[in-house]
Amino acid sequence: MKFHIMTLFPDMVMNGLSESITGRAMEKGIIRIQPVNIRDFSDNKYRHVDDYTYGGGAGMLMQPEPVYRAYQSIVNGDEDISCKKKPRVLYMTPQGTRFSQKMAEELAKEEELVLLCGHYEGIDERVLEEIVTDYVSIGDFVLTGGELPAMMIIDAVSRLIPGVLGCDESALYESFYDGLLEYPQYTRPEVWHNRKVPDVLLSGHHKNIADWRYEMSLERTKERRPDLYETYVNSDSEVYKTYIKKQQKKFRKKKKNDADET
């Protein structure tokens, strides 16, 4: 998959993404990341790309032409990594649709993406109207620029691409798979600071381990993300329906046992 990042700070983005898992994926050629420096498309000798806003107000705005030229260099194939068809262009902005795991999954199906990072007070509206296909926010807070959001999106999308994670399966069983948070995990030692790894995980009983993990996921989601929990329990999840049936059966059995004892 190819990512083209239009930015004023290509080093910031590339330094961050060249490390760890995304860095390895780049080395293996599974993902390709092409930074495009918008400043290279300035038409003045000072390489300025911003100007005052019409109508007054504080701060500077990025001008439309350098942004447009940078975009054209991508779609015309002038950059090292060429572009096959008209790509989706994601503009990083707190005014966008909130980024989510679902959006990452949808974006991972694309062959290539362009991520546009704004700075200063933003970008002239006219060029956004011409080139942007998606307005994306990473949360209800304002950052100094779009580079960190772009890096986050590239990271979240990349790890869904086969071969990027060591084992493809591990992408499935993490937080947000099926709408639940991940269960707690443990490694050696078995006892640490007087805290013991739950017995079930040492039992070797795969079915009990899977049941325990599912219950922990439910519990954790209910406690930490009641919004996700509500959505999940009201969804049509077959796994949840089976779980509830099993719980009801257990409850009836216990009630009967209690009654038999008295």
Taking CB under 6 A as the criterion, the residue among 42, 63, 93, 221 binding ligand ADE is 93
Residue 157 sits in the site that holds ligand ADE (CB under 6 A): no
Q: Do residues 45 and 179 touch, judged by C-beta distance below 8 A?
A: no
Residue 138 sits in the site that holds ligand ADE (CB under 6 A): yes
Q: Interacting stretch for ligand ADE, rule CB under 6 A, among 42-50, 139-147, 172-180, 205-213?
A: 139-147
Find the shortest distance in angstroms from Cβ 183 to ligand ADE.
30
Find the shortest distance in angstroms from Cβ 100 to ligand ADE.
13
Find the shortest distance in angstroms from Cβ 144 to ligand ADE.
7
Q: Do residues 94 and 140 touch, judged by C-beta distance below 8 A?
A: yes
Closest by Cα among 18, 3, 21, 127 to 64 = 127
Residue 38 sits in the site that holds ligand ADE (CB under 6 A): no
In whole angstroms, give the CA distance from residue 245 to residue 230.
Answer: 18
Phi, psi of 207 (to 5 degrees): -65, -45
The β-bridge partners of 135 are 91
Residue 114 sits in the site that holds ligand ADE (CB under 6 A): no
Identify which of residues 146 and 179 has a Cβ nearer to ligand ADE in the complex: 146
Identify which of residues 139 and 163 has a Cβ nearer to ligand ADE in the complex: 139
Task: Name the DSSP class of 181.
Answer: P
Taking CB under 6 A as the criterion, the residue among 55, 141, 188, 195 binding ligand ADE is 141
Residue 7 sits in the site that holds ligand ADE (CB under 6 A): no
Q: Do residues 200 and 261 touch, judged by C-beta distance below 8 A?
A: no
- Report CA-CA distances (Å) from 167 to 79, 111, 186: 32, 21, 19
Residue 143 sits in the site that holds ligand ADE (CB under 6 A): yes
What length is written for the chain? 262
Which burial class, exposed, middle or buried, applies to 238 when counting CB atoms under 10 A from its CB (0-12, 13-18, 19+)? exposed
Residue 121 sits in the site that holds ligand ADE (CB under 6 A): no
Identify which of residues 74 and 90 has a Cβ nearer to ligand ADE in the complex: 90
> Hey, is 34 helix, strand or coil?
strand
- Report CA-CA distances (Å) from 79 to 33, 38, 119, 154: 11, 12, 22, 19
Find the shortest distance in angstroms from Cβ 78 to ligand ADE.
26
Q: Interacting stretch for ligand ADE, rule CB under 6 A, among 14-22, 23-31, 69-77, 88-96?
A: 88-96
Residue 137 sits in the site that holds ligand ADE (CB under 6 A): yes
Residue 142 sits in the site that holds ligand ADE (CB under 6 A): yes
**CB contact burial 6-28 (16+ within 10 A = b; e otherwise):** bbbbbebbbebbeeeebbebbee
Taking CB under 6 A as the criterion, the residue among 30, 60, 64, 94 binding ligand ADE is 94
Binders of ligand ADE in range 173-232 (CB under 6 A): none
Residue 152 sits in the site that holds ligand ADE (CB under 6 A): no
Summarize as ranges the residues that interact with ligand ADE (CB under 6 A): 92-94, 137-139, 141-143, 146, 149
